[in-house]
Homo-oligomer: A and B are copies of this chain.
Amino acid sequence: MIVEVVAVGTELLLGQVVNSNAATIGARLAEAGLDAHFQQTVGDNLERMVSAIRLAIERSDAVIITGGIGPTQDDITREAICAATGRAMLHSDEYADRLRRRWEELGRVLPISNLRQADYPEGAEMLENPKGTAPGLALEHDGTWLFAVPGVPQEMIHLLDVEIIPRLRSSAGLDRVVRSRIIRSWGLPESKVGEMLDDLFQSGTNPSIAFLASAGEIKVRITAAGAAGPEVDELIAPVESVVRERLGSAVFGADEQTIETVLHDLLRTRSWTIGTAESATAGLVAARLTSLPGASDVFRGGIVAYATDLKRDLLDVSAAEVVTEAAAIEMALGARTRLGCDVAVAVTGSAGPEPQEQPPGTMIMAVATPEGVMARTFRLPGDRERVRTYAATAALHLTRLAVAGDWWT
């Protein structure tokens, strides 16, 4: 089954937006065992959209159109599908009612122009889009599948995973599956992970392994192909065991687990609450600790002490220099007391571009638990945003190790 992506949007041609949707879709199609030969990008122009859609219908078995289904006048994907397939545009009163109710629930009145989102080409099915207001569309035309999805990545991904890929796999009669397991680690450099697993990388065909680095985390992806059912999992399991054994406590989770979910689970297991004391990261650690539903079970609060006098007033820091391990430890201990939490994580540092006591990129963390307190200094590369993001991630990982009783050295 050959699938073609047609991305719609003048902003893509003008380079104001990078077409990351095409890559996201490509990766997911490949994982699902679906092929791709071409991708197209076209501006918000009816005639050209029609020619792109017709070309895709001619040479591919399925076409996924991204973008152009919003409420404004330049959103004309619905019109282009009608013109390319010679179908009439119909209007769903039922969907219009749903749109109205949805806006009412938000305490607002549906603007007239949004009613266009209840239009659909004859024969098309509307696909539920719980992440936005524009429904997706699915249409079988002369044996070719046509889908339209919003350009907003999270809405597009939802429709792709829940609606489009299952239909295409079933329509292609695919029973062979390709499955990947991702083992997630933090604390070892990518090159070191590569060396530790080189024999698996060299010998691996099924399963094969690959390394992916992102934001300080190193992922090892184990991919196997086989009949649906337990077979694929049985191919992956022994390789996963070897990877976990070699990487040790650097491994913090697998697949959809994140440092946040793992840390919450650990805290719940120990019945400990947590709080934060932040300077350079200024709320990033607290925001990540509360990104999960039910965060209030474990998270109590945080203090962002950016100005030095607030470090003294709100966290009882007495150290003369505030970008030091001594200050970080005082911040963590102060937060435990002031916030009434079992565990406190503190971050101070110099995020850049101007140095603050220390060179830019110097980030110092401390974690205090009922079992002890420890600090660690990092020198992180990159600009201010990158330094702050990496530091927040590092702080969460050090906290995970401390809560697990596996203090770093």
Contacts and interface: CB of A to CB of B under 8 A. Distances in A.
Interface of A: 10-20, 22-30, 36-45, 48, 52, 55, 70-74, 102, 105-108, 111-114, 131, 154, 180, 189-192, 194-195, 198, 201-202, 210-213, 221, 276, 278, 281-287, 289-296, 299-307, 309-310, 314, 338-340, 352-354, 356, 361, 379-386, 388
Given A71-B194, A191-B72, A304-B301, A22 B10 contact: no
B281 A287 contact: yes
A344 to B, nearest CB: 12
Contacts of A45: 37
Contacts of A72: 190-191, 194, 211
A292 B45 CA distance: 38
Q: How many copies does the complex hold?
A: 2
Contacts of A301: 303-307, 310, 314
B37 A42 contact: yes
Contacts of A12: 22-23, 26, 39
B48 A37 contact: yes
Contacts of A105: 379
Contacts of A211: 72, 74
Interface centre among A36, A41, A221 (most CB of B within 10 A): A41
A58 to B, nearest CB: 11
15 contacts: A13-B26, A15-B27, A16-B221, A71-B190, A73-B194, A73-B201, A111-B191, A281-B287, A282-B286, A283-B302, A284-B287, A301-B306, A302-B306, A309-B340, A314-B338
A194 B75 CA distance: 11
B287 A282 contact: yes
A111 B282 contact: no
A207 B113 CA distance: 23
Nearest to A194: B72
A107 B379 contact: yes
B26 A14 contact: yes
A304 B306 contact: no
A66 to B, nearest CB: 13
Given A14-B30, A40-B38, A304 B283 contact: yes
Given A43-B37, A71-B191, A304-B303, A27 B20 contact: no
A210 B11 contact: yes
A102 B342 CA distance: 39
A283 B26 CA distance: 35
Given A191-B113, A284-B287, A384 B293 contact: yes
A51 to B, nearest CB: 8
A93 B38 CA distance: 35
A70 B191 CA distance: 9
Given A70-B213, A113-B194, A287-B284, A27 B16 contact: yes
Contact of A20 (B18, B73, B221, B281): B18
Contacts of A10: 210
A190 B151 CA distance: 15
Contacts of A382: 131
Contacts of A287: 281-284, 287, 388
Given A294-B354, A384-B293, A303 B300 contact: no
Nearest to A287: B283
Interface centre among A27, A37, A40, A42 (most CB of B within 10 A): A37
A111 B193 CA distance: 10
Given A18-B20, A18-B22, A310-B340, 14 more contacts: A11-B212, A13-B26, A18-B19, A70-B213, A73-B201, A111-B189, A113-B195, A282-B290, A283-B287, A291-B384, A291-B385, A300-B310, A303-B303, A310-B339
Contacts of A14: 26-27, 30, 36, 180
Nearest to A341: B307
Nearest to A339: B310
A13 B385 CA distance: 30
